[in-house]
Structure 1
Amino acid sequence: MTAHTREGYQGTGPGAITPDGCAVERYLRLPVGREPDVVASAVPPGSSVLELGCGVGRVTHPLLARGFAVTAVDESPEMLGHVRGARTVCASAESLDLGGERFDVVLLGSFLVHSGDPEVRRGLLRTCRGHVADDGCVLIEREGADWHERAPRESRTGDGGLVRVAAADPVGPDTSSIRVEYEFPDVRWTQTFLSYRYRGDAFARALAGAGLAVDTVLTEDGTWVRARPV
């Protein structure tokens, strides 16, 4: 089943497909990664967390188990239908407006900050700044520096699948069309999406434009950073 998709985004395979090409059933199979550990290492225990693009709750549920108060946001009702124990909001993250409500932590994972649409990128950072407390922080997941060049590449996952980044084709200045294939013994999904590559100080300038600045890098590979309001 395929929902209305964003331009440049599509997905194939069984089950519901979200507007950005994600297969809901694929994410139900995806194991918990390092994200809960990254969050726990960067913010005080029990913080209130606004999770943008929560999907099926793969990160939401471990955060709840660790005592965080999570408001989980996703534009896909099919994704949100699998989230348990958190307050949920069905909305696009880039246009979210919770009426002045602020959080200790805003979580922007899944490389969403690399959206191929500049208006979406700006909207996401506005959402982050508009919903983070003045003494709070924004945790952002970035792509690796060479990810657009390292295609094709593939890796095994902890859920018995194979993830293959089959192509990263340039479609505009610093923007690539990324095609990812997910293969399991019983099923196959694909997702195609647009990814923007920040060069030089472009990421810092984008944050500054939203009133944010990085205060520390959280992981050795540089893909997770913590930003604060300025």
Structure 2
Amino acid sequence: MRNNGTGPGPISPDGSPVEFYSMLPPNGEPELVAQVTPPGGSVLELGAGVGRVTHPLLALGFEVVAVDESPEMLALVQDAQTVLARVEGLRLDRRFDTVMLASQLVNTADDAYRRELIATCARHVVPGGVVLIQWMPASAHDRWYVGRTRTDGDVTITMAAVEEVSPGVYHATMRYTYGDAKVWTQSFSSKRLTDDELAAELATEGLRLDGFLTEDRTWVSAVPA
């Protein structure tokens, strides 16, 4: 199942509605980066989107290179170096103190794509640096159900559909609503990964799972082995 999205305004290649994502605030990500990155250090933000996290990182004094495949997304990023490119296969001529891969991209149902994402992280982190990966722990999928909803101000996010299409692989559609005026959908696939499976995937690319940075275990730190 290819990720896809519907609704007003431009939609990125992975189905993300640009206008909707521009409404979302950061959710603790800048503080996590600050925990593991030296003051004034360099950050490679993979899948940076509209700069929701980029801009707070810049305000904290970090040097940020923001990578995304959506020109409409990157057009909203200010004061950071931007790179219009897909994450997989990315080869910049430098390494960074911290590499960040957010949005549960690592839970892709495409195993080869996951390895490419992790390889990109590994080849861009300095020795002694940190890779931050947002993922969905295996148990999180058990809490998915149609109608699951959360609201943040005028924004409502609802799971409109979910199906386990094969063991451990889920197809889901989210519905995003802004007030009573605008509605978007985004469909995607997600694969259940255990801690051991994630650690093995990281090890394949020379990274070691170092720990979990949040109580819900959705943010992983990995370091060069």
Q: Verify same fold: TM over 0.5.
A: yes
| Counterpart position of 1:215 | 210
Instruction: Identify which of 55, 62, 80 aligns with 2:49.
Output: 55
Determine the C-alpha separation between the residues in 2 that align with 1:86 and 1:171: 40
Paired position in structure 1 for 2:95 = 102
- Does 2:15 correspond to 1:21? yes
Q: Aligned equivalents of 1:147 and 1:217: distance in 2? A: 15
Helix, strand or coil at the partner of 1:146: helix
Residue 5 of structure 2 is aligned to residue 11 of structure 1: yes
Instruction: Give me the whole-angstrom Cα distance separating, in 1, the residues matched to 2:40 and 2:206.
Output: 25
TM-score by length of 1: 0.92
Q: Which amino acid aligns with 1:228?
A: V
Match for residue 157 of structure 1? Answer: 152
Instruction: Write the letter of the residue equivalent to 1:47.
Output: G
Given residue 48 of structure 2, which amino acid in structure 1 is its aligned partner? C
Q: Is 2:225 the counterpart of 1:226?
A: no
Q: How many residues align?
A: 222
TM-score by length of 2: 0.94
CA distance in 2, matches of 1:34, 1:195: 23
The amino acid across from 1:140 in the alignment is I
Of 58, 62, 69, the residue aligned with 1:75 is 69
- Please list the CA deviations of residues 82-140 of structure 1 after superposition, one character each: whole Å capped at 9, or x if unmatched: 000100000000111113x1111000111111112112111000000010001111011
Tell me the residue number matched to 2:196: 201
| Runs (5+) with no aligned partner, structure 2 | none
Distance in structure 2 (CA, Å) of the matches to 1:173 and 1:209: 23
1:144-172 deviation per Cα after TM superposition (whole angstroms, max 9, x unaligned): 443322212111114x1111122221223
Larger mean CA deviation between 193-202 and 58-67 belongs to: 193-202
The aligned amino acid for 1:229 is: P
Q: Which 5+ residue runs of structure 1 have no aligned equivalent? A: 1-6
Same amino acid, percent of matched pairs: 50
Task: Give the letter aligned to residue 136 of structure 1.
Answer: G
Structure 1 window deviating more from structure 2 (109-118 vs 74-83): it is: 109-118
Cα RMSD of the aligned pairs, angstroms, is: 1.3
Q: C-alpha distance in 1, partners of 2:150/2:38?
A: 33
Partner of 2:83: 89
Instruction: Report the secondary structure of 2:199's partner residue.
Output: helix
Secondary structure in structure 2 of the residue aligned to 1:149 = helix
Query: Which deviates the most, 28-37 or 45-54?
Result: 28-37
